[in-house]
């Protein structure tokens, strides 16, 4: 199967997982934020689902760009522009490509992380989505470097993203709304780190089929 078709399958599965976890993500955000993360994400991905049929013959860059613009225009709150920027940056490195290799995957992650850092002025360890995405990226890089196949690589990356979510329970938020709580944010897992983990896991689940 061509990567552009696979990418669409992955994004549809991400959307499905986001819809299934809408309440969970919202509950996590209710504890340390304003209780809308699941609503925001589900709204954005639903809007993307409505466009997906127009994308089946498109290249990977166009697909990701459509997702990015959809998230930026439909998702309120911090996560819309952050994820939107991430996917927009990723779209640029795969512009015009119908097939993706491991090198492309790493470059996409690098760009996504760079985009989130730039837009949110954050770093790893601030209790955000970066705390699950960066460990996943590090793990993918190591796995590809040691010759693991893409499915194995994403399985380990998913585990590392999950560890990252667990780690967010132990630290205080210094970015986003949760930072208003200061030390009281400790003990809660970050909603955005959780949605990132769910997305990375959806990539793995789709690839292993
Ligand atoms: P809002 O906080 O505006 O209501 P959401 O609830 O949809 O937006 O998203 C909150 C999530 O966004 C947080 O859990 C965190 O992971 C992420 N986030 C917030 N600010 C930043 C930032 N500056 N950098 C990276 N991620 C951030
Ligand atoms: Mg919120
Ligand atoms: Mg909000």
Task: Extract the tokens encoding 168.
Answer: 């967010």
Q: Please tell me the residue having the least CA distance from ligand 1 atom 14.
A: 192
Position 178 pLDDT exceeds 70: yes
Q: DSSP letter at 173?
A: -
Which ligand 1 atom is nearest residue 190's CA? 14
Q: Which of 129, 180, 198 to mutate to test the pocket of ligand 1 (most atoms within 8 A of CB)?
A: 129
Task: Give the span between the Cα atoms of 135 and 143, in whole angstroms.
Answer: 12
The pLDDT value recorded for residue 164 is: 98
Among protein residues, the one with the nearest Cα to ligand 1's atom 7 is 37
pLDDT of residue 1: 61
Residue 146 three-state SS: coil
What is the pTM assigned to this prediction? Answer: 0.98
Rounded Cα distance, 72 and 88, in Å: 10
- Write the burial class of residue 46 (CB in 10 Å: 0-12 exposed, 13-18 middle, 19+ buried): middle
Check residue 143 and give its pLDDT.
98
Percent of the chain whose predicted confidence (pLDDT) is above 90: 98
* Whether the Cβ atoms of residue 37 and residue 28 lie closer than 8 Å to each other: yes
pLDDT of residue 2: 78
Instruction: List all residues whose CB is within 6 A of at least one atom of ligand 1.
Output: 29, 33-34, 36-37, 40, 77-79, 82, 116, 120-122, 128-130, 175-177, 190-193
Please tell me the distance between residue 40's alpha carbon and the centre of ligand 1 in angstroms.
Answer: 11
Please give the Cα distance from 61 to 86 (Å, whole number): 13
List domains and CATH numbers for the chain. 3-208 (1.25.40.340)
Across the range 142-148, mean pLDDT stands at 98
pLDDT of residue 183: 97
Q: What are the tens digits of pLDDT across the range 70-128?
A: 999 999 899 999 999 999 999 999 999 999 999 999 999 999 999 999 999 999 999 99
Question: What's the Cα-to-Cα distance from 74 to each of 44, 88, 103, 109, rounded to whole Å?
Answer: 6, 15, 31, 23
Phi-psi region of 121 (alpha: psi -120 to 50; beta: other; left: phi over 0): left
Q: Confidence band (pLDDT; 50, 70, 90) for 34?
A: very high
Question: CA-CA distance, 8 to 63, in Å (whole number)?
Answer: 8
* pLDDT of 78: 96
Q: Among 26, 75, 192, name the best residue to mutate to test ligand 1's pocket (greatest count of ligand atoms within 8 A of Cβ).
A: 192
H or E stretch at 37: helix 37-49
Q: What is the pLDDT of residue 76?
A: 84
Report the separation in Å between the CA atom of 191 and the middle of ligand 1, taken as the mean of its atom positions: 8
Q: In angstroms, what is the span from residue 111 Cα to ligand 1's centroid?
A: 18
């Amino acid at each position: 199967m061509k990567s552009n078709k696979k990418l669409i399958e992955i994004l549809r599965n991400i959307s499905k997982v986001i819809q299934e976890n809408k309440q969970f993500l919202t509950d996590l955000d209710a504890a340390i934020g304003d209780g809308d993360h699941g609503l925001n994400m589900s709204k954005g991905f639903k809007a993307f689902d409505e466009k997906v049929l127009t994308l089946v013959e498109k290249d990977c860059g166009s697909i990701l760009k459509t997702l990015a613009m959809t998230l930026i225009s439909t998702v309120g709150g911090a996560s819309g522009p952050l994820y939107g920027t991430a996917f927009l940056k990723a779209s640029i490195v795969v512009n015009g490509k119908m097939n993706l290799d491991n090198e492309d995957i790493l470059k996409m992650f690098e760009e996504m992380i760079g985009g989130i850092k730039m837009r949110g002025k954050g770093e790893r360890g601030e209790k955000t989505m970066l705390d699950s995405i960066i460990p996943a990226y590090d793990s993918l890089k190591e796995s590809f470097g040691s010759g693991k196949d893409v499915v194995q690589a994403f399985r380990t990356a998913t585990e590392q993203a999950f560890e990252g979510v667990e780690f967010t329970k132990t630290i205080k938020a210094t970015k986003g709304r949760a930072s208003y709580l200061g030390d009281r944010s400790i003990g809660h897992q970050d909603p955005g780190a959780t949605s990132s983990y769910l997305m990375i896991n959806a990539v793995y689940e789709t690839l292993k089929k």
